[in-house]
Structure 1
Amino acid sequence: MPSIFTRIVAGEIPAHKIAETDDYLAFLDVMPTAMGHTLVIPKKEIDYLFALDDELYMGLMAFAKKIATVIEKAIPCKRIGVAVIGLEVPHAHVHLIPLNSMGDMNFSHKLKPTQEELAATAEKIRSFL
């Protein structure tokens, strides 16, 4: 059964996309820890980040760096935090989270933005690409 991220890549489930290439996709987390919280994934479904081959892994991290730079321009924050947990969705992914305090990385505290708020945030971030 495809992961929810694979279904997003296939267009079966809508997402607030930030950017994509042939190999990677960045989109907003629908239950962010902070506004602008973005997920960066390889389009190829591989469960564990460290199971990616070196080329795909390095490409993912380079893509994440590009997206983090854009988020930082769009969302007022002190820096962009990076987290790799990978337990909720069996598809390798990197969390990019705008940080103003350590509490912004608290995954037990989730915001519940509206679809309109997510759409506006995605548009703002994309405007800096």
Structure 2
Amino acid sequence: MSSVFTKIINGELPGRFVYRDERVVAFLSIEPVAYGHVLIVPVEEVDKWTDLDPKTWHQLNEVAQNIGRAVISVFGSERAAYLIAGFEVPHTHIHVFPANDMSGYNLATAMPADSTDPAKMDGAAEQLRNFLETDENGHPV
């Protein structure tokens, strides 16, 4: 059975993509701790990050670092937070989001999907894509 992330990657569920290559995708979290909260996910469905092959792990982190730079620049945050939890979806993913303190590291404080402002979510995705120079599907332009 496919994870929800695999369904997003395959286009079966909607996603606001900001990056995509053959190994890694990045899209906005539907339950963000802050606008600009991105999930960096391997295309291959692997539950635990400790089980990823080294090349995919390296690519995942390279993308996370680039998105972190974008998050800091676009949202003016002091830092880009980086978090691996992995209990909510059995598919490796890295959370990267704007951070000025430790409050975002508690994912229980995330906004419920039905309370986010769709215009702010679309705007966050567009700003990140502009910085990363990617199109609506996350491909380089």
Aligned Cα RMSD in Å?
1.0
Gaps of 5+ in 2: 133-141
Q: Which ranges of structure 1 fall in alignment gaps of 5 or more residues?
A: none
Q: Distance in 2 between matches of 1:116 and 1:16?
A: 12
Partners in 1 of 2:129 and 2:6 — Cα distance?
22
Q: Look up the match of 2:131.
A: 128
Relative to the length of structure 1, the TM-score reads 0.95
Asked whether the equivalents of residues 24 and 43 of structure 1 are also in contact (C-alpha less than 8 Å), the reply is: yes
Query: d(CA) in 1 for partners of 2:93 and 2:39?
Result: 6
- Cα deviations by residue, 1:85-113 (Å, 9 ceiling, x for unpaired): 10110100000011012112221111231
C-alpha deviation, 1:115, in angstroms = 2.1
Which residue number in structure 1 is paired with residue 56 of structure 2? 56
Amino acid at match of 2:51: A
Does the CA-based 8 Å contact 1:71-1:98 persist in structure 2? Answer: yes
Could you tell me the percent identity over the aligned residues? 32
| TM-score normalised by structure 2 residue count | 0.88
1:116 paired to 2:101: no
Provide the rounded CA distance (Å) in 1 between the counterparts of 2:72 and 2:129: 12
Cα separation, 1, equivalents of 2:53 and 2:23:
13
Aligned residues: 129
User: Given residue 13 of structure 1, which amino acid in structure 2 is its aligned partner?
Assistant: L
Q: Is residue 107 of structure 2 the alignment partner of residue 104 of structure 1?
A: no
